[in-house]
Amino acid sequence: MIAASNLIKGETKMKRLVLVALFLAAVPLAAQQEPAGAQQAPQLSVRVVENFLKLPDDVHMAEVVGVTVDQKGHIIVANRGHRPLLEFNADGTFVRSIADGLPLFEGPHSVRVDPQGNLWYVDAGTNLVVKFDQTKHLQMVLGRRPEPWTWMTHVIERAIPGPQNFYQPTDITWGLDGSIYISDGYGNSRVAKFNKDGNLVKHWGERGGAPGQFNTPHSIVIDAAGTTLYVADRGNSRIQTFDTDGNFKKEFQIGGAPWSFCITPPPNQVMFVGSTGKVYKMDLNGKVLGSFGRMGRVPGTVDWVHAVACPDERTVYLAEELSWRLDKVIVDTPKP
């Protein structure tokens, strides 16, 4: 007889193999090429901080897929290694791992800090979006895990039905009233809006290329005024903007397919957009102000920028999926 523990280990391994295949299949060639009509912009002068993260000998990162900076200046990194959520202080010194042992981590995808200092984690494998308070205790769970022993059916055919559930969600942001917006994602091609208590309010979008449709909505952010949502429509190589009720406003293209973005704090907000081998700096109206990076997997180059964090206009953290690396980059403002 096969031990139950061995069956569980085998199922977990199969989950990870299928997720890797699905994530790779969700990266179309268009997401790796420069779209027609791409904006031209000056090259930004940057400096990469060498050996920024100081990892203990027993902690190793795999694919780095998420990064955020909390109100203390601590950096929280999501990766697909044996400790998926790691916290570092402002100088890169390791502080702790978060939520070890919780059944959350099948496909780490994003991590963000909300305006109240709570930590939110998005997992495309378990179809969960999870909230931790400032002490990193679990506070809220949105979505629903696939049922035991039927995981393969739910991932390949459909997630557990219900508009309040997700199908490989990708990212999260918040409105001024506490509303929660989730890009959902690889499977559902939509944005879901919840109130601050976690109740579904509405959702919009479907697979396609028309305004308001999506092909892998991969990242989502909101401006400080709380009036405009930006969605990285990666498979369509564009950024779409909406009001907080889901009404389409406009779309624009940069120099590549948008994978991820962050917006700097007010008063003078700019956006950094991660792409394939490059990072773009732009204003909130869609004008590209500059860019940096070249494709590669060694320090000083950039690969798939799966997430980006920008606590200010000069400091940018890049979560690079292929290189299993987090970079801290200092950006110089171009001279007029």
Contact 275, 292 (CB under 8 A): no
**Which residues, other chains included, contact 313 with Cβ-Cβ below 8 Å and sequence gap of 6+?**
264, 268, 270, 331, 333
Q: What is the pLDDT of residue 147?
A: 73
Quote the DSSP letter at residue 115.
T
Q: What is the pLDDT of residue 16?
A: 53
Collect the ranges in the chain with pLDDT lower than 70.
Answer: 1-39, 148-159, 333-336
Contact 135, 146 (CB under 8 A): no
Q: Mind listing the pLDDT tens digit for each residue in 177-211? A: 999 999 999 999 999 999 999 999 999 999 999 99
Q: Which CATH number fits domain 4-331: 2.130.10.10, 2.120.10.30, 3.40.140.10, 1.10.10.10?
A: 2.120.10.30
Q: Mind listing the pLDDT tens digit for each residue in 163-182? A: 999 999 999 999 999 999 99
Alpha helices per DSSP H over the chain: 4-25, 151-156
**What's the residue count for the chain?**
336
Q: What is the pLDDT of residue 162?
A: 86
Residue indicated by tokens 């000998």: 57
